[in-house]
A and B are shown apart, each in its own frame.
Chain A
Amino acid sequence: MTRASSPILTPSRRGFLGLSLAAGLVLGLEACGGTSTVGGSSSAGGTGTIKWAWQLPTTWDPVTSSAGSDVQMLALTYDAITALDDQGNATPWLAEKWTYDDSGKVVTFTLRPDLKFSDGSPLDATAVAKSIERGRTQDGSLIAPQMATIKSVKADGDLDVVVELTEVDYQYPLLFAGKTGMVVNPAVFEKDADSLATQPAGSGPFTLTSYVQNDHATLKKNPNFSAADEIKVENFELYPQPDPSTAVAAARSGQFNLVRLGGAQLQQAKDAGLDVQVINTMFVSVLDVNVTMAPFDEPAVVEAMKYAIDREKLKEVAAFGVGDVSYQPFPPGYVGYNPELASIYAYDPDKSRQVLADAGLKTPIKAVFTSSGQSDAAVELTQAQLKEVGIEATIDSIPATQHTQLVYLEHSKALAYDGFAGRESPVQAFQVLFGAEGLMNPGRTTNPELDAQLEKVKRTPTDDPTYPALLQEATKIAVTSFPNTFLTLVPAVIARKGVSGLPTRPSLRRFEGVTA
Chain B
Amino acid sequence: MTALRNLWRIPTARFALVVLAGIAFLTVFGGALAPHDPLKQYTDHVLEGPSATHWLGTDYVGRDVLSRLMSGTRLSVVGAAEAVIIGAALGVPSGLASAWLGPRLEWLTLRISDTLVILPFTVFAIAVAGTLGNGLQQAMFAIGVLISPIFFRVTRSVAMGMRRQQYVEAAELMGATEWWTLRTHIWSKVLPNVAVTFAQATGAALLVVASLSFLGLGVSPPAPTWGGMLASDLDYLAQQPWAPVFPGLLMMAAVGSLNLLADAVREATGDARRRRRSTPRTASPAQSRHEAQRQTKETARA
Interface on A for B, CB 8 Å cutoff?
Answer: 29, 32-34, 243-245, 248, 262, 264-265, 267-268, 313, 316-318, 371, 373, 376-377, 379-381, 383-384, 394-399
Contact = CB atoms under 8 A, between A and B. Distances in A.
Interface string B24-42: 0000000000000001010
Which 8 residue pairs spanning A and B have beta carbons closest together?
A32-B241, A268-B238, A34-B238, A245-B234, A244-B235, A380-B222, A384-B41, A395-B220
A379 B242 contact: no
B237 interface: yes
A422 to B, nearest CB: 26
Interface in B210-227: 216-217, 220-222
A398 B133 CA distance: 9
B236 interface: yes
Contacts of B49: none
Nearest to A268: B238
B238 A267 contact: yes
Interface residues of B, number: 23
Contacts of A379: 221
Contacts of A371: 221
Contacts of A318: 61
B220 A381 contact: no
Given A317-B62, A384-B41, A397-B134, A32 B220 contact: no
Contacts of B222: 380, 383-384, 395
A313 B43 contact: yes
B60 interface: yes
A314 to B, nearest CB: 10
A33 B241 contact: yes
Given A244-B235, A317-B61, A398 B221 contact: no
B235 A381 contact: no
A155 B217 CA distance: 55
A318 B236 CA distance: 11
A407 B87 CA distance: 36
B46 interface: yes
Given A397-B216, A397-B220, A317 B43 contact: yes
B221 A376 contact: yes
B239 interface: yes
User: Which among A29, A248, A371, A397 has the highest number of chain B CB atoms within 10 Å?
Assistant: A397
B252 to A, nearest CB: 15
Contact of A380 (B134, B221, B235, B239): B221
Contacts of A397: 134, 216-217, 220-221
Given A268-B238, A397-B221, 6 more contacts: A244-B234, A318-B61, A371-B221, A376-B235, A395-B222, A398-B134
B181 interface: no
B288 interface: no
B43 A381 contact: yes
Contacts of A384: 39, 41, 61, 222
Nearest to B40: A384
A379 B221 CA distance: 9
A274 to B, nearest CB: 12
Contacts of A380: 41, 61, 221-222
Nearest to B220: A395
B232 interface: yes
Given A317-B46, A384-B41, A396-B134, A264 B220 contact: no
